[in-house]
Structure 1
Amino acid sequence: MTVDDRFTEDFREQQAEREDLGTWNEIVTGPVSDWTTDFSHTEPEYAERAIEIWADLRVRCPIARTERFGGAWLPTRYEDVQAIAYDTEHFSSRAIIAGNYRPPLDLAPVGGEPPISSDPPFHHDARKLLLPAFTKANVAKQAVTTEAFCHSLIDGFAGRDVVDAATEYGMHIPIRVIADMLGFPTADSDRFKHFVEDALEGINTPLEEREQQPDQLFDYLLEQIQDHLAHPRDDLTTHLINAELYGQKLEPQHVAGTMALLLIAGIDTTWSAIGASLWHLAQHPEDRRRMAEEPAVRATGVEEFLRAYAPVTMARLVKEDISFGGVEMKAEDWVLLPFPAANRDPERFERADEVLIDREVNRHAAFGLGIHRCVGSHLARMELRVALDVWLDRIPEFTLADPAAVRWSTGQIRGPRALPLRIG
């Protein structure tokens, strides 16, 4: 048996054991009756009206409850989101996508996608393995090729009046960057998009489909691992295959899980941030003109877009029954951490619901809070900055072609999935 065959066999055994021990809950879909007692982040209404819903809950019911997904909570104030994010004693990260499946308890402290799914003390060591790849210096090296790629995308739709900035621009930038970092074929971009949508927007699909979705992703990842075992090169995949933790090579589940994390999270979050920023600029000509004409304001503009349109909501699982913020949380309840809602809390930010592109003090939580703060924050900032720089330099005049045609993603990553812009 070859090395790559042993890797695949070990992975399959580990994956099967974990899936068999997990628990599934009934799928509950449909319109929300009351956001305080029946919220659902998977419904189209939430995607369209999230900012309005958070503002209403913050006043009426700061920690909302739902019986969907087997029971879940939604805090909307910054102080509550922050407190839970930092509390690793009472809240586990062994699963960070809230849906109708809960992985087995013994999956902690590693989780399925380390380090984001890892609890202390394992989390600290798993995270350290990734830090060198995401330093400011290494990210800066990718800025030049990212800028050239953004120009090539705009060259591709030159002369057209209407362009979907979500699917023809924003989506492709993080796909190219992450594919290059992992050493994956850039020609597989359609497959990456499919994996992202399955993982983050398909959580209420029927059980049979939901069980098959991870298999498709990990089949692909194992193909890439096998190729890298046969043909090592200087990229993140080879780094993970060769990495050691506690004097031993990483478990196959650890390698594939971390690759899945980098692929899914690395694409969808930045895709969403780029799209939301262009969506804002298309509707606010004063901001658009200022950022086009005054490059000096772009740095603060990027941070403000990250604050106001932060794409990411994480999830935690309650470890044991606990009283928190006036509610009684039960063991294995989900708790969603909507960092976008925290970023719009008027108790934390002045003029919280206004987008001020020259906001000077901006300690937002777009990249999360606590030990799980995004390891790729420098990379995401670079991609967003370069994407906007190139777009504004090349296309300083643009508006929404059809506001009714804009579609936002459902689930825990929020961003435009259809964004038709009229150029010029």
Structure 2
Amino acid sequence: MTVDDRFNEQGFEDGLRDRSLGARSEVITGPVLDWATDFSHAEPEWAADPYPIQDDLRQRCPIAHTERFGGGWLPTRYEDVAAIAYDTERFSSRSIIVSNVRPPRELAPVGAVPPISSDPPFHHDARKLLLPVFTKTAVATRERATRAFCHSLIDALEGQDVVDAARDYAQHIPMRVIADMLGFPPEDGPQFREFVENALEGVDLPPEERVTRVEKLFTYLLAQIRDHVDHPRDDLTTYLINAELYGRKLEPSHVAGTMSLLLIAGIDTTWSAIGASLWHLARTPSDRERLVAEPGLLPTAMEELLRAYAPVTMARLVRDDMHWRGVDMKADDWILLSFPAANRDPAQFDLADEVVIDREVNRHAAFGLGIHRCVGSHLARMELRVALEVWLERVPAFSLEDPAAVTWSTGQVRGPRTLPLRVG
């Protein structure tokens, strides 16, 4: 089989460029004097510890505003976050990453990375294509290989008194799982990290530079697609190439967009969740010791760690000028939809600011709310559970080597990027 005509290089790349550019470029970084009127999630103090900021806003200004990004809003109450997440009439998902560029309205209802960037009615059908791949049954077939890989990572750490659990453990697990699912070479992992950082950080860069970074990702994806067209195999990339929607095969931008979503979101979110969980256990000996003694408690504890350290904040765009819950929103204002803030709302959770590893009732929003709730939640839970099971089995005693040396990612996915632990 020759290369599918859908993936003609020039047409493919021109289409990606058209979808990447937008309007209203704005500078968004710089010191914040008042988070209620000038918030920016791209600042180092937000990355280091956003929870006191969110708690303060929830009490005195539950829907904060900023002129950065060309105008945006930050709801901090669970009820407001949920209301926006479920309201697809007034809030569009055509762009889920706040940056200095807004994609054109014509991009809806598909968006650049369907289905998470898609609006109804297209969203329902695009999401339905992925559901069979991410069922509990399908995910369970990957557990054995994931567990073996986690053991191999810890084998490589033997003899070290101090290890970086984020760099040398957490990040590699979702990289390997997603590479296997998509049929990508596992040795390409370092490139995946670059793609993640390009997509989710550096949101204040000039539009042309962000487009250049995006093009590096899609150049890689195009090469993988072409290889799969010429050499089909049983993996998710071949599945997407052959999938049909409305009686015809998917557009190239749909195929590549969904692949980029799975690659970026599938890696960074789980990497962050594993790292944050290990960070908590390293600084909380009582919780660590209890889980080592009671491994059956881990699934419950894992949900609490997801609630307390939810890694993901999504974005929406206001469709039209409107007055909403006491504030005047303008068309194309950003909404920073903070699931981490919602998860720490005391109106929704008892002891919301505490980590209670045996919390029984825990309807957290770590995987989102509404139609865009994470399609890969079963996969993420499996990876997190296996990563923690193997680590606690092999490394039952560990602590922070230097709390000040822990660094956190900046932007809408938050997790440790360096996590030095003393083991033994």
TM range (shorter): over 0.9
Equivalent-residue separation in structure 2 for 1:152 and 1:253 (angstroms): 36
Show the counterpart of 1:211. Answer: 211
Show the counterpart of 1:198. Answer: 198
TM-superposed CA distance for 1:14, in Å, is 1.9
- For each residue in 1:208-250, what CA deviation from the matched residue of structure 2 results, as whole angstroms up to 9, or x when unmatched? 3212111000000000000000100000000000000000000
One-letter amino acid of the counterpart of residue 15, structure 1: L
TM-superposed CA distance for 1:5, in Å, is 5.6
Equivalent-residue separation in structure 2 for 1:84 and 1:288 (angstroms): 36
- For each residue in 1:117-174, what CA deviation from the matched residue of structure 2 results, as whole angstroms up to 9, or x when unmatched? 0000000000000000000001011010000000000000111000000010000000
Whether 1:97 and 2:97 are equivalent positions in the alignment is yes
Whether 1:122 and 2:122 are equivalent positions in the alignment is yes
Show the counterpart of 1:304. Answer: 304
Show the counterpart of 1:14. Answer: 15
Equivalent-residue separation in structure 1 for 2:282 and 2:93 (angstroms): 37
Whether the 8 Å contact between 2:43 and 2:410 is mirrored in structure 1 is yes
Show the counterpart of 2:265. Answer: 265
Where 1:417 maps in the other structure, the secondary structure is strand
One-letter amino acid of the counterpart of residue 51, structure 1: Y
One-letter amino acid of the counterpart of residue 273, structure 1: A
Whether the 8 Å contact between 2:100 and 2:205 is mirrored in structure 1 is no
Whether 1:395 and 2:395 are equivalent positions in the alignment is yes
One-letter amino acid of the counterpart of residue 13, structure 2: R
TM-superposed CA distance for 1:13, in Å, is 3.1
When residues 16 and 209 of structure 1 are mapped into structure 2, their CA distance, relative to the original with a 3 A threshold, is closer
Show the counterpart of 1:83. Answer: 83
Equivalent-residue separation in structure 1 for 2:385 and 2:29 (angstroms): 37
Where 2:147 maps in the other structure, the secondary structure is helix
Show the counterpart of 2:3. Answer: 3
1:88-167 paired onto structure 2 within 5 Å = 88-167=88-167
- For each residue in 1:163-208, what CA deviation from the matched residue of structure 2 results, as whole angstroms up to 9, or x when unmatched? 0000100000000000000000010000000000010012112333
- For each residue in 1:305-337, what CA deviation from the matched residue of structure 2 results, as whole angstroms up to 9, or x when unmatched? 000000000000000011112111100000011
TM-superposed CA distance for 1:29, in Å, is 1.6
TM-superposed CA distance for 1:31, in Å, is 1.0
Whether the 8 Å contact between 1:10 and 1:252 is mirrored in structure 2 is no
Q: Which of 70-79 and 319-328 deviates more?
A: 319-328
TM-score, normalising length from structure 1? 0.98
Show the counterpart of 1:188. Answer: 188
TM-superposed CA distance for 1:409, in Å, is 0.6
Show the counterpart of 2:244. Answer: 244
Show the counterpart of 2:277. Answer: 277
Whether the 8 Å contact between 1:221 and 1:256 is mirrored in structure 2 is yes
One-letter amino acid of the counterpart of residue 54, structure 1: Q
Whether the 8 Å contact between 1:64 and 1:74 is mirrored in structure 2 is yes
Show the counterpart of 1:65. Answer: 65
One-letter amino acid of the counterpart of residue 85, structure 2: A
One-letter amino acid of the counterpart of residue 417, structure 2: R
Equivalent-residue separation in structure 2 for 1:348 and 1:173 (angstroms): 32
Whether the 8 Å contact between 2:26 and 2:101 is mirrored in structure 1 is no
One-letter amino acid of the counterpart of residue 201, structure 1: E
TM-superposed CA distance for 1:28, in Å, is 3.0
Equivalent-residue separation in structure 2 for 1:41 and 1:255 (angstroms): 30
Aligned residues: 423
Whether the 8 Å contact between 1:167 and 1:418 is mirrored in structure 2 is yes
TM-superposed CA distance for 1:79, in Å, is 0.0
One-letter amino acid of the counterpart of residue 14, structure 1: G
Equivalent-residue separation in structure 2 for 1:171 and 1:49 (angstroms): 21
One-letter amino acid of the counterpart of residue 316, structure 1: R
Where 1:199 maps in the other structure, the secondary structure is helix
Where 1:314 maps in the other structure, the secondary structure is strand
- For each residue in 1:6-45, what CA deviation from the matched residue of structure 2 results, as whole angstroms up to 9, or x when unmatched? 413432232233345x214122321111100110001111
One-letter amino acid of the counterpart of residue 360, structure 2: E
TM-score, normalising length from structure 2? 0.98
Show the counterpart of 1:408. Answer: 408
Show the counterpart of 1:295. Answer: 295
Show the counterpart of 1:361. Answer: 361
Provide structure 2 residue ranges, at least 5 long, that are not aligned to the other structure. none
Whether the 8 Å contact between 1:150 and 1:390 is mirrored in structure 2 is yes
Show the counterpart of 1:222. Answer: 222
Equivalent-residue separation in structure 2 for 1:28 and 1:82 (angstroms): 26
One-letter amino acid of the counterpart of residue 289, structure 1: E
- For each residue in 1:346-399, what CA deviation from the matched residue of structure 2 results, as whole angstroms up to 9, or x when unmatched? 000011111000000000000000000000000000000000000000001000
Residue identity over aligned pairs, in percent, reads 71
Equivalent-residue separation in structure 2 for 1:347 and 1:127 (angstroms): 32
Show the counterpart of 2:46. Answer: 46
Provide structure 1 residue ranges, at least 5 long, that are not aligned to the other structure. none
Whether the 8 Å contact between 2:28 and 2:40 is mirrored in structure 1 is no
TM-superposed CA distance for 1:115, in Å, is 0.1
Show the counterpart of 1:176. Answer: 176
- For each residue in 1:259-297, what CA deviation from the matched residue of structure 2 results, as whole angstroms up to 9, or x when unmatched? 000000000000000000000000110000000110111
Equivalent-residue separation in structure 2 for 1:24 and 1:216 (angstroms): 24
Where 2:163 maps in the other structure, the secondary structure is strand
One-letter amino acid of the counterpart of residue 184, structure 1: F
Whether the 8 Å contact between 1:139 and 1:382 is mirrored in structure 2 is yes
TM-superposed CA distance for 1:2, in Å, is 4.9
Where 1:55 maps in the other structure, the secondary structure is helix
Equivalent-residue separation in structure 1 for 2:216 and 2:16 (angstroms): 13
Where 2:36 maps in the other structure, the secondary structure is coil
Equivalent-residue separation in structure 1 for 2:244 and 2:409 (angstroms): 37
